[in-house]
Amino acid sequence: MILERRKANTIPTDWSAEDEAVLLTFLENESFDAKLLKTLFPNRTLPSIRSKVRKLRIKHDLFGASYRDTKEKFTEKIASEVKPKIVFDAYAGAGHQTFKWIARANTVYASELMKSKLKQFEKMASDHLFVKIDTKDCTWNLFQKDDKKIYLFIGDAVSAAAELKVNKVVVDLIDLDTCGSTLPTLPTLLVLLRPKHLVITHGEFHSMRFKREDVLRRLLVHRDIGSNPLPMGVDQMSDELDKAVKTAALRAHNETSDSFWLNLKDEIWLGGRIHGMLRRYYKVSKPSATADCINELSSLIKHA
Ligand SMILES: C[S@@+](CC[C@H](N)C(=O)[O-])C[C@H]1O[C@@H](n2cnc3c(N)ncnc32)[C@H](O)[C@@H]1O
Protein backbone atom coordinates (compact mmCIF):
# COMPACT_ATOMS: atom_id res chain seq x y z
CA MET A 1 0.00 0.00 0.00
CA ILE A 2 1.43 3.40 -1.04
CA LEU A 3 1.88 5.93 1.78
CA GLU A 4 1.49 9.69 1.30
CA ARG A 5 4.16 11.99 2.73
CA ARG A 6 2.92 13.64 5.92
CA LYS A 7 2.52 17.35 5.47
CA ALA A 8 1.09 20.19 7.53
CA ASN A 9 -2.22 21.53 6.21
CA THR A 10 -1.69 24.90 7.87
CA ILE A 11 1.16 27.41 7.85
CA PRO A 12 3.20 26.74 11.01
CA THR A 13 3.05 29.50 13.64
CA ASP A 14 5.97 29.79 16.05
CA TRP A 15 5.18 29.25 19.72
CA SER A 16 5.65 32.54 21.60
CA ALA A 17 7.35 32.49 25.00
CA GLU A 18 3.97 33.45 26.55
CA ASP A 19 2.11 30.56 24.87
CA GLU A 20 4.85 28.15 25.93
CA ALA A 21 4.60 29.38 29.51
CA VAL A 22 0.80 28.92 29.49
CA LEU A 23 1.15 25.39 28.13
CA LEU A 24 3.89 24.51 30.62
CA THR A 25 1.80 25.72 33.56
CA PHE A 26 -1.10 23.65 32.23
CA LEU A 27 1.08 20.53 31.94
CA GLU A 28 2.50 21.00 35.42
CA ASN A 29 -1.00 20.98 36.89
CA GLU A 30 -3.25 18.93 34.61
CA SER A 31 -3.07 15.78 32.55
CA PHE A 32 -3.36 16.01 28.75
CA ASP A 33 -6.86 17.09 27.71
CA ALA A 34 -7.21 17.63 23.95
CA LYS A 35 -10.52 19.52 24.20
CA LEU A 36 -9.32 21.91 26.87
CA LEU A 37 -6.00 22.53 25.13
CA LYS A 38 -7.81 23.26 21.85
CA THR A 39 -9.84 25.95 23.64
CA LEU A 40 -6.66 27.36 25.20
CA PHE A 41 -4.95 27.53 21.78
CA PRO A 42 -7.82 27.88 19.26
CA ASN A 43 -5.53 28.85 16.36
CA ARG A 44 -3.37 25.76 16.60
CA THR A 45 -4.00 22.27 15.31
CA LEU A 46 -4.10 19.31 17.68
CA PRO A 47 -0.96 17.70 16.14
CA SER A 48 0.94 20.97 16.72
CA ILE A 49 -0.24 21.08 20.35
CA ARG A 50 0.62 17.37 20.84
CA SER A 51 4.10 17.84 19.42
CA LYS A 52 4.76 20.85 21.67
CA VAL A 53 3.41 18.98 24.71
CA ARG A 54 5.82 16.10 24.05
CA LYS A 55 8.81 18.44 23.67
CA LEU A 56 7.98 20.42 26.81
CA ARG A 57 7.38 17.27 28.85
CA ILE A 58 10.79 15.88 27.89
CA LYS A 59 12.58 19.21 28.38
CA HIS A 60 11.06 19.92 31.80
CA ASP A 61 11.19 16.35 33.11
CA LEU A 62 7.39 16.01 33.15
CA PHE A 63 7.31 13.03 30.78
CA GLY A 64 5.49 10.16 32.48
CA ALA A 65 5.23 12.06 35.77
CA SER A 66 1.80 10.52 36.46
CA TYR A 67 3.17 6.96 36.40
CA ARG A 68 6.70 7.67 37.65
CA ASP A 69 6.08 5.83 40.92
CA THR A 70 4.86 2.71 39.10
CA LYS A 71 7.90 2.75 36.81
CA GLU A 72 10.33 3.24 39.66
CA LYS A 73 8.72 0.45 41.73
CA PHE A 74 9.05 -1.92 38.76
CA THR A 75 12.72 -0.94 38.33
CA GLU A 76 13.31 -1.54 42.05
CA LYS A 77 11.56 -4.91 41.85
CA ILE A 78 13.69 -6.09 38.92
CA ALA A 79 16.86 -4.70 40.53
CA SER A 80 16.18 -6.62 43.73
CA GLU A 81 15.46 -9.86 41.84
CA VAL A 82 18.33 -9.66 39.35
CA LYS A 83 20.93 -7.88 41.51
CA PRO A 84 22.88 -6.45 38.54
CA LYS A 85 26.38 -5.20 39.35
CA ILE A 86 26.73 -3.10 36.19
CA VAL A 87 23.80 -1.45 34.40
CA PHE A 88 23.57 0.52 31.16
CA ASP A 89 20.69 3.03 31.33
CA ALA A 90 20.49 4.05 27.67
CA TYR A 91 17.81 6.76 27.79
CA ALA A 92 18.56 8.29 31.16
CA GLY A 93 16.69 11.60 31.05
CA ALA A 94 16.99 13.28 34.44
CA GLY A 95 18.06 9.93 35.90
CA HIS A 96 14.94 8.69 37.72
CA GLN A 97 15.71 5.05 36.85
CA THR A 98 19.50 5.51 37.07
CA PHE A 99 19.25 6.26 40.78
CA LYS A 100 16.97 3.26 41.32
CA TRP A 101 19.47 0.95 39.58
CA ILE A 102 22.45 2.33 41.51
CA ALA A 103 20.71 1.54 44.80
CA ARG A 104 21.47 -2.13 43.95
CA ALA A 105 24.31 -1.94 41.41
CA ASN A 106 27.92 -0.86 41.87
CA THR A 107 28.15 1.02 38.59
CA VAL A 108 25.62 2.53 36.21
CA TYR A 109 26.62 3.78 32.78
CA ALA A 110 23.95 6.17 31.55
CA SER A 111 23.47 8.02 28.27
CA GLU A 112 21.24 10.94 27.41
CA LEU A 113 21.01 12.81 24.13
CA MET A 114 19.81 16.21 25.39
CA LYS A 115 22.57 18.42 26.77
CA SER A 116 20.06 20.34 28.89
CA LYS A 117 19.30 17.17 30.90
CA LEU A 118 22.75 17.32 32.49
CA LYS A 119 21.58 20.03 34.94
CA GLN A 120 18.56 17.91 35.98
CA PHE A 121 20.80 14.84 36.31
CA GLU A 122 23.31 16.78 38.45
CA LYS A 123 20.47 17.92 40.72
CA MET A 124 19.23 14.35 41.05
CA ALA A 125 22.80 13.20 41.84
CA SER A 126 23.19 15.80 44.54
CA ASP A 127 19.74 14.91 46.02
CA HIS A 128 21.05 11.32 46.28
CA LEU A 129 24.33 12.53 47.86
CA PHE A 130 26.45 11.66 44.84
CA VAL A 131 29.38 13.99 44.20
CA LYS A 132 30.47 15.01 40.73
CA ILE A 133 34.13 14.17 40.24
CA ASP A 134 36.30 16.16 37.87
CA THR A 135 38.03 13.44 35.84
CA LYS A 136 39.13 15.73 32.98
CA ASP A 137 37.28 13.27 30.74
CA CYS A 138 34.95 15.24 28.47
CA THR A 139 33.07 12.12 27.34
CA TRP A 140 31.74 10.66 30.58
CA ASN A 141 30.60 12.68 33.63
CA LEU A 142 31.38 10.79 36.83
CA PHE A 143 29.19 10.90 39.95
CA GLN A 144 30.35 9.01 43.01
CA LYS A 145 29.07 8.00 46.45
CA ASP A 146 31.33 5.71 48.50
CA ASP A 147 32.16 2.81 46.15
CA LYS A 148 29.17 3.46 43.83
CA LYS A 149 29.81 5.13 40.51
CA ILE A 150 27.57 6.58 37.83
CA TYR A 151 29.03 7.57 34.48
CA LEU A 152 26.84 9.81 32.32
CA PHE A 153 27.49 10.14 28.58
CA ILE A 154 25.84 13.15 26.95
CA GLY A 155 25.15 11.84 23.46
CA ASP A 156 23.57 9.02 21.54
CA ALA A 157 22.92 5.68 23.27
CA VAL A 158 24.54 3.66 20.48
CA SER A 159 27.73 5.76 20.66
CA ALA A 160 27.82 5.29 24.44
CA ALA A 161 27.39 1.52 24.02
CA ALA A 162 30.16 1.46 21.39
CA GLU A 163 32.48 3.22 23.88
CA LEU A 164 31.66 0.60 26.51
CA LYS A 165 32.30 -2.20 24.02
CA VAL A 166 35.69 -0.77 23.00
CA ASN A 167 36.61 -0.42 26.68
CA LYS A 168 35.53 -4.03 27.35
CA VAL A 169 32.94 -3.07 29.98
CA VAL A 170 30.80 -6.06 30.93
CA VAL A 171 27.19 -5.04 31.49
CA ASP A 172 24.67 -7.21 33.37
CA LEU A 173 21.49 -5.35 32.48
CA ILE A 174 20.40 -2.74 29.94
CA ASP A 175 17.45 -0.43 30.49
CA LEU A 176 15.91 0.97 27.29
CA ASP A 177 13.40 3.49 28.61
CA THR A 178 12.62 5.59 25.54
CA CYS A 179 9.61 7.82 25.14
CA GLY A 180 9.15 6.42 21.62
CA SER A 181 10.63 3.18 20.32
CA THR A 182 14.01 1.57 20.67
CA LEU A 183 13.24 -1.40 18.40
CA PRO A 184 15.56 -0.21 15.57
CA THR A 185 18.57 0.07 17.93
CA LEU A 186 17.82 -3.02 20.02
CA PRO A 187 19.96 -5.53 18.04
CA THR A 188 22.93 -3.13 17.98
CA LEU A 189 22.75 -2.51 21.72
CA LEU A 190 22.43 -6.24 22.41
CA VAL A 191 25.40 -7.13 20.22
CA LEU A 192 27.60 -4.39 21.65
CA LEU A 193 26.85 -5.07 25.30
CA ARG A 194 25.72 -8.71 25.46
CA PRO A 195 23.68 -8.17 28.67
CA LYS A 196 22.07 -10.96 30.70
CA HIS A 197 18.94 -8.91 31.30
CA LEU A 198 16.89 -6.40 29.33
CA VAL A 199 14.29 -3.91 30.54
CA ILE A 200 12.46 -2.12 27.76
CA THR A 201 9.64 0.46 27.64
CA HIS A 202 7.24 0.41 24.71
CA GLY A 203 6.03 3.85 23.64
CA GLU A 204 4.89 2.32 20.34
CA PHE A 205 1.36 2.11 21.80
CA HIS A 206 1.02 5.85 21.12
CA SER A 207 1.75 5.25 17.42
CA MET A 208 -0.97 2.59 17.42
CA ARG A 209 -3.48 4.96 19.08
CA PHE A 210 -2.66 7.80 16.67
CA LYS A 211 -2.98 5.34 13.77
CA ARG A 212 0.57 6.03 12.59
CA GLU A 213 0.78 3.32 9.95
CA ASP A 214 4.08 4.75 8.62
CA VAL A 215 5.73 4.57 12.05
CA LEU A 216 4.50 1.05 12.78
CA ARG A 217 5.49 -0.28 9.35
CA ARG A 218 9.04 0.95 9.98
CA LEU A 219 9.26 -0.29 13.57
CA LEU A 220 7.64 -3.72 13.51
CA VAL A 221 10.68 -5.46 12.06
CA HIS A 222 9.20 -8.94 12.15
CA ARG A 223 6.34 -7.98 9.78
CA ASP A 224 6.10 -7.24 6.08
CA ILE A 225 6.97 -3.54 5.68
CA GLY A 226 4.67 -3.45 2.65
CA SER A 227 1.46 -4.12 4.55
CA ASN A 228 -0.53 -2.10 7.05
CA PRO A 229 -0.54 -3.61 10.56
CA LEU A 230 -3.57 -1.48 11.55
CA PRO A 231 -6.20 -1.78 12.87
CA MET A 232 -4.82 -3.35 15.97
CA GLY A 233 -6.00 -3.54 19.60
CA VAL A 234 -3.90 -3.27 22.75
CA ASP A 235 -3.62 -7.05 23.20
CA GLN A 236 -2.46 -7.66 19.66
CA MET A 237 -0.01 -4.77 19.89
CA SER A 238 1.43 -6.26 23.09
CA ASP A 239 1.94 -9.57 21.29
CA GLU A 240 3.40 -7.90 18.19
CA LEU A 241 5.91 -6.01 20.32
CA ASP A 242 6.95 -9.18 22.15
CA LYS A 243 7.47 -10.86 18.78
CA ALA A 244 9.34 -7.84 17.37
CA VAL A 245 11.70 -7.73 20.35
CA LYS A 246 12.38 -11.48 20.24
CA THR A 247 12.85 -11.48 16.46
CA ALA A 248 15.25 -8.51 16.62
CA ALA A 249 17.28 -10.36 19.27
CA LEU A 250 17.37 -13.60 17.27
CA ARG A 251 18.55 -11.66 14.19
CA ALA A 252 21.06 -9.50 16.08
CA HIS A 253 24.15 -11.38 14.86
CA ASN A 254 24.94 -13.14 11.60
CA GLU A 255 25.32 -16.42 13.54
CA THR A 256 22.34 -17.74 15.51
CA SER A 257 24.71 -18.91 18.25
CA ASP A 258 26.00 -15.35 18.73
CA SER A 259 22.51 -13.91 18.72
CA PHE A 260 20.07 -13.86 21.64
CA TRP A 261 16.94 -15.53 22.89
CA LEU A 262 14.71 -13.44 25.12
CA ASN A 263 12.37 -14.79 27.78
CA LEU A 264 9.62 -12.44 28.88
CA LYS A 265 9.60 -12.63 32.68
CA ASP A 266 7.61 -9.65 33.89
CA GLU A 267 5.74 -6.58 32.67
CA ILE A 268 3.85 -3.56 33.96
CA TRP A 269 1.45 -1.05 32.44
CA LEU A 270 2.55 2.55 32.89
CA GLY A 271 -0.48 4.84 32.78
CA GLY A 272 -2.94 2.01 32.07
CA ARG A 273 -3.91 0.04 28.97
CA ILE A 274 -6.05 2.79 27.41
CA HIS A 275 -3.52 5.65 27.40
CA GLY A 276 -0.24 4.19 28.60
CA MET A 277 2.65 1.97 27.62
CA LEU A 278 4.25 -1.30 28.65
CA ARG A 279 7.54 -1.78 30.44
CA ARG A 280 8.89 -5.30 30.19
CA TYR A 281 11.67 -7.35 31.70
CA TYR A 282 13.35 -10.09 29.61
CA LYS A 283 16.00 -12.54 30.68
CA VAL A 284 18.56 -12.93 27.91
CA SER A 285 19.84 -16.36 26.99
CA LYS A 286 21.50 -18.14 24.10
CA PRO A 287 19.20 -19.31 21.30
CA SER A 288 18.70 -23.03 20.92
CA ALA A 289 18.51 -24.43 17.36
CA THR A 290 17.37 -21.89 14.74
CA ALA A 291 14.38 -24.07 13.84
CA ASP A 292 13.18 -24.25 17.46
CA CYS A 293 13.41 -20.48 17.86
CA ILE A 294 11.54 -19.82 14.61
CA ASN A 295 8.86 -22.38 15.48
CA GLU A 296 8.34 -20.76 18.85
CA LEU A 297 8.18 -17.24 17.39
CA SER A 298 5.77 -18.39 14.69
CA SER A 299 3.28 -19.71 17.24
CA LEU A 300 3.62 -16.77 19.59
CA ILE A 301 0.11 -15.37 19.88
CA LYS A 302 -0.53 -14.99 23.59
CA HIS A 303 -3.85 -13.16 23.51
CA ALA A 304 -5.51 -15.05 20.64
C1 LIG B 1 11.31 8.61 28.67
S2 LIG B 1 12.69 9.67 28.79
C3 LIG B 1 13.70 8.86 29.94
C4 LIG B 1 13.21 8.81 31.29
C5 LIG B 1 14.20 8.26 32.28
N6 LIG B 1 14.56 6.89 31.99
C7 LIG B 1 13.67 8.41 33.66
O8 LIG B 1 13.00 7.49 34.14
O9 LIG B 1 13.88 9.48 34.19
C10 LIG B 1 13.63 9.32 27.33
C11 LIG B 1 14.92 10.10 27.22
O12 LIG B 1 15.67 9.55 26.14
C13 LIG B 1 16.41 10.60 25.55
N14 LIG B 1 16.84 10.10 24.22
C15 LIG B 1 16.10 10.01 23.08
N16 LIG B 1 16.84 9.47 22.09
C17 LIG B 1 18.06 9.19 22.62
C18 LIG B 1 19.24 8.59 22.09
N19 LIG B 1 19.31 8.19 20.82
N20 LIG B 1 20.29 8.43 22.92
C21 LIG B 1 20.24 8.84 24.22
N22 LIG B 1 19.14 9.42 24.77
C23 LIG B 1 18.07 9.60 23.99
C24 LIG B 1 15.44 11.77 25.54
O25 LIG B 1 16.12 13.00 25.45
C26 LIG B 1 14.73 11.58 26.89
O27 LIG B 1 15.34 12.35 27.88
Specify if 241 maps to a domain: yes
Q: Is the pLDDT of residue 304 over 50?
A: no
Report pLDDT for 302: 56
Same domain for 38 and 92: no
What's the pLDDT at 235?
A: 96
229-245: average pLDDT: 96
Give a yes or no: residue 41 inside a domain.
Answer: yes
Give the integer Cα–Cα distance in Å for 213 and 181.
Answer: 14
- pLDDT of the residue at 65: 81
Please check whether residue 4 lies inside any domain of the structure.
Answer: no
Average pLDDT over residues 57-80: 92
Name the residue of 75, 88, 102, 112 whose CB sits within 8 Å of the most ligand 1 atoms, as the mutation to test its pocket: 112
Q: Which atom of ligand 1 is nearest to the CA of 111?
A: 21
Q: Tell how far the Cα of 91 is from the centroid of ligand 1, in angstroms.
A: 4
Ligand 1 contacts (CB < 6 A) are: 58, 63, 91-97, 111-114, 117, 156-157, 177-179
pLDDT value of position 71: 97
Checking 251-259 for CB contacts under 8 A at 24+ apart, the result is 251/187, 251/221, 252/186, 252/187, 252/188, 252/190, 252/191, 253/191, 256/287, 256/289, 256/290, 256/293, 257/286, 257/287, 258/191, 259/287
**Residue 281 and residue 164 share a domain:** yes
Q: Are residues 278 and 136 in the same domain?
A: yes
Domain containing 248 — which CATH number? Answer: 3.40.50.150
Question: pLDDT for 184-228, tens place per residue?
Answer: 999 999 999 999 999 999 999 999 999 999 999 999 999 999 999
For the chain, what is the domain count? 2
Residues 141 and 278 in one domain: yes
Which ligand 1 atom is the nearest neighbour of the CA of 71? 8
From ligand 1's centre to the CA of 182, what distance in Å? 10
Check whether 303 has a pLDDT greater than 60. Answer: no
Across the chain, what does the average pLDDT equal?
94
> What average pLDDT does the segment 41-55 reach?
89
- The answer, yes or no, to whether residue 153 has pLDDT greater than 80, is yes
**Closest ligand 1 atom to 64 CA:** 1
Instruction: Measure the CA–CA gap between 112 and 102, rounded to whole angstroms.
Output: 17
- Cα-to-centroid distance, 275 and ligand 1 (Å): 20
What residues contact 2, with CB distance under 8 A and at least 6 apart?
A: none
- What is the distance in A from the centroid of ligand 1 to the CA of 58? 8
Q: Which atom of ligand 1 is nearest to the CA of 203?
A: 1
Task: Name the closest-CA residue to atom 13, ligand 1.
Answer: 91
- % of the chain with per-residue pLDDT over 70: 99
Of the candidates 170, 192, 203, the one whose C-alpha atom is nearest the C-alpha of residue 91 is 203
- For residue 23, the SS3 value is helix
The yes-or-no verdict on residue 301 having pLDDT over 90 is no
Record the pTM. 0.92
Residue 172 sits in the same domain as residue 251:
yes
Residue 95 Cα: closest atom of ligand 1: 9
**For residue 214, how far is its CA from the centre of ligand 1 (angstroms)?**
22
55 shares its domain with 111? no
pLDDT at position 168: 98
Q: Give the separation between CA 141 and CA 261, rounded to whole angstroms.
A: 33
Q: Read off the pLDDT of residues 245-255 as tens digits, 9 standing for 90 and up.
A: 999 999 999 99
Please give the DSSP secondary-structure letter assigned to residue 42: T
Best probe residue, ligand 1, of 73, 87, 98, 113 (max atoms within 8 Å of C-beta) = 113
Same domain assignment for residues 147 and 230: yes
Distance (angstroms) between ligand 1 centre and the Cα of 11 equals: 30
Indicate whether 105 belongs to any domain: yes
Domain span at 195: 65-298
Tell me what the mean pLDDT of segment 156-174 comes to.
98
- Look at ligand 1, atom 19, and give the residue with the nearest C-alpha: 156
38 with 75, same domain: the answer is no
Out of 45-49, 88-92, 216-220, 225-229, least confident range: 45-49
